[in-house]
Structure 1
Amino acid sequence: MAVSGKKAPKHLLSSTTSMASDKDLQIYCQPCDEEGTRLPAHGYCTDCKEHLCQTCFAAHKISKLSKHHKLQDATNMPKVLQQPSPSFHTGQSDGLTTPCLKHSKELIKFYCHDHVEFLCSVCVTLEHQTTFCQVDYIPDISGDIIDSKEYQVILNALNTTSDKFQQKVEDLKKMAYKSNSSLKESLAAIKKFRQEINQRLDELERQTEDAAKVNEQDNNKHLKAAETTYEDINKSLKELSEKIKQLNTSKQADKLFKELKLAEKIMKDMEEKELKLSSYDIKEHHFKANVAILTNLKAEKSFGTLTQRTLNKKALPIQIQSRQSSHEGEIRVKTQQDKILCGIRGMLMLTPDLLIITDRNNNAVKMVDISSQSVSDQLQLDAGPWDITPVTNKELAVTLPYKRTVQFISISSNKLVKKHTMMVDGECNGISYYQGKFVVSFVNPAKLQILDRNGTTLTTIDGKNIFKLTHYVMCNKSSIYVSDSWMNTVTRLNWQGEVIGGCTGMGQPIGMSLSDDGTVFVCDLKENVIQEITGDCGTGKVVLKNLESPYAVCWCEETKKLYFSGWHRDEKNDNFLHIYKLS
């Protein structure tokens, strides 16, 4: 059994040390003693010149490397500690001079093929018995290694691995340079964009100033004419007044009568001129700011979007235009109630003839009649809505990001009616509903939440390391899809919130729509295309290209038509829904 206590002093382990009797000094197993375990010696190996405990003595008889050694039992073993085997430090085979990491007094002499480890004799005895491991004495197997095939293979592999790492470093340098260059270009584009905004504001300011200056010039012109007229009239009246006074003083009655009558006529003429001067329309001016400019600026969450495209990851393989498409026209969705350009952010196909859209810019939800190609009803909200999802065939839910609210809306007699609201704990953008559960995407910070119909949070998925800017979300029985316009990805998750797929390398994915067969239509705002991605996010194809900033999208399975809105900041694009038929 193990005996606790300190190791014997060094002078007791000397080769010159003798023992008077067994009672003077207990002899311990030398291999175990190296491990810090003190066990009484049970025998002795004359080949290894080591005392062995009962376990090591039994193992010595079995081991392939030691079973032919000469052993002595406790009665016949030396009663003094012996000098370690000469092979410990001297007479080693060429190159076997490396100490064992586990047993510092032993040298590496063996190799275990099963564990791919270098061993000393103690390691072999205690941990790698030859009945379980294929252990060889290194000099026995190293003789033919010089210039061998194995030597050449490993040397070539080392060189190949080195070349791969060098190439990786070079690739990273190139990608870092490309990334830094793209950042410089982006910063230059930001400054250019700001200059364009400033130039446009300067133009609008100049137009208003020029109009004011024209009014000022008109005022000065009429005032100058009035002053000249007054000076001429005043001079004539003074001269006539003096003449009448002189005639009265000189008692020239005939001439006085004539001049008085002439003065009466002149006075009537003066009254007409006075009325003409009074009739000039002098206006007071006040400046009324175009608040839509400021409102739009306040509504924007950023100066722009700095998109990222992964350089060292494989992008989704895209095929070009594998579907046949035909342009079916546009539907104007701007109404007389709208103050500014439409901002269509959410779309929902209620029936093949009825489409519901959200207009963020005009704080409205609109019902679009496909057959008449017009807005049949419009519901004004307290804030700009973003995304929309069906709850039942008569109930919808829309997100109000700045209110941190989900607004429920019912449909009755083809009219939209506001119902109750549901508060959420963040700036909610995307929303999708499936079998009693809402999936809502949030920004600032980016995250997903799965809620029940009462708004109770069932699952929260932190967007750290997954999302950056999650505008839209769609879900079905097996998957949740999230578009991220900052990470340039569409990510696929299961209902436990685990990422199970996705595609990278897109330009700027925004709005999405799910088809009945599980494919996902995605608007790429940067590339000006709409892609169709398989449900596992494995492959995709461009179904529409050369578009004008596609933003929100909706697929009608019955008619095989794709409806989408644009965000190009112009009347022709933003105020219309665009329709394409796919086959």
Structure 2
Amino acid sequence: MASDEDLQVYCQPCDEEGTRLPAHGYCTDCKEHLCKTCLTVHKKLKSSKHHTVLDATSMPKVLQQPSTSIHTSQSDNLTTPCCKHQQEMIKFYCNDHKKLLCSVCVTLEHQPTSCKVDYIPGISCNIIDSKEYQIILKTLNTTFDYYQQMVEDVKEMTGKSNRSLKDALEDIKKFRIEINQRLDELERQVVHVVKVAEQENNSNITAVETSCEEVTNSLKISSEKIKQLNTSKQANALFMELKLAENIMKDVEKTALQFSSYDVKEHHFQANETILTKLKTERSLGTLTQIKYRQSSHEGEICVKTSKDKSRCYITGMTLLTPDLLIITDYDNYAVKMVDTSSQSVSDQLQLDDHPWDITRVTSTELAVTLPNTKKIQFISFSSNKLIKKHNVKVDGVCVGISCYQGKHVVSFVTPAKLQIIDMNGTILTTIDGKNIFKSPYYVTCNRSSIYLSDREMKTVTRFNWQGDVIGSYSGMCTPRGISLSDDGSVFVCDNGRNVIEEISEDSSTGKVVLENLNDPYTVGWCGETKKLYYSCRSVKAKYANFLYIYKLS
């Protein structure tokens, strides 16, 4: 290659990138000398293929400077190296593959015959403050906010996790204390037995010593007296004393015989090997179970107040028919309402003669509603987005909560406090008396294996099997209200005393708050398909009471 001084004309685009190559042609439109590679690309690009290009013999022999233009000023800014060809600068854009290219990329992989390639300075003139600029900037900001929020959410969940670990350590210490207390109690029992035996031994030896001392004193006195009488030759007195001594000896023999039968036992401690074996075979003091925290996002609200309503809404029950169809009971307005979740509006409303409390799906076309004041269960059909009142069944108490599974209704009663399983005709199959188990069972839900009952007075959610046996219980809440089963068997519970919705594990052993800082949450419904949680509020403020709130959980 000739030196820079010998090159009278050279490729101007390459020269801008720091490489000086001899020119093999000249574009009269761009007023630029081009090397062999740039000349080839120039003829193929859509934006320049119709330009007039002179070959090496016809081109000007003196370097021509193009007139100042947007094209020229912007081409000077093309200084970003290509990620594949570090010596080449990015100058082109492929519309088909959405990629930024250098001239080598265009020549080798994105030839204008197969790709729509544009020269960046030729298409960038209108990009300033353009719609594309605004859209991308907004998207970047939204994505930035999303990841910022993600960091905050992870920090919050990590904080909860660390707090739960701290609580777990406290529980471990408490459990160890309980074990120590039980072992101390067992030790006290054995020590008490030892001390009683020791006291008995001491008491016996004291009795023996006292008796023996009395006998030896008596024998000593008798012996001394006999010797004295014998020395003084008092025959009569000696005779009588000897006979008395014979009687004393007989009594002494009896006492000796008693002492000879006295059994002094030795003791040996035999450890309870079951306890020791159990401790040896156990591999852990307990297990640390992991609770998955759900992430939540607010999806909006649905106003369920209609022109037919005379009061603010009091939503006491809800059930999902489809992801787009939710049925609710409005106690104060004597109404059952069909809510279209896609259009976020009430699509139908059925007026009743009594206050409805809870509602459940019975079949694909039938619902059941509890009417506590008249002690009835009202059946309602739904088809073509219409609710129609059907027959009712009389029950023997103030019925509130209701849930249905495979033709069996589980109904909770507050007066008296009980739980009944009844068939479609109202025949009672099983009755569970509240007694000390529950007192105010306002809501109930069930699945194949379990029945869950929330009790605002006992502050518990109790789990029963279908035979009526208690198989689990969760406490620690303030005022549990509406409950709903999730698709994985856990139970969502509204606790309006703490303004939270808590998720309880299927076995009722653990729980975690999924939504907090709410406004008196009362009833809840879960859609497994969309992972959306719906809840209502029992509030004196219409801005809360007249709406259903939607959150997406993941």
TM-score w.r.t. length of structure 2: 0.50
Q: Which has the higher contact order (CA 8 A, sep 6+)?
A: 1
TM-score w.r.t. length of structure 1: 0.47
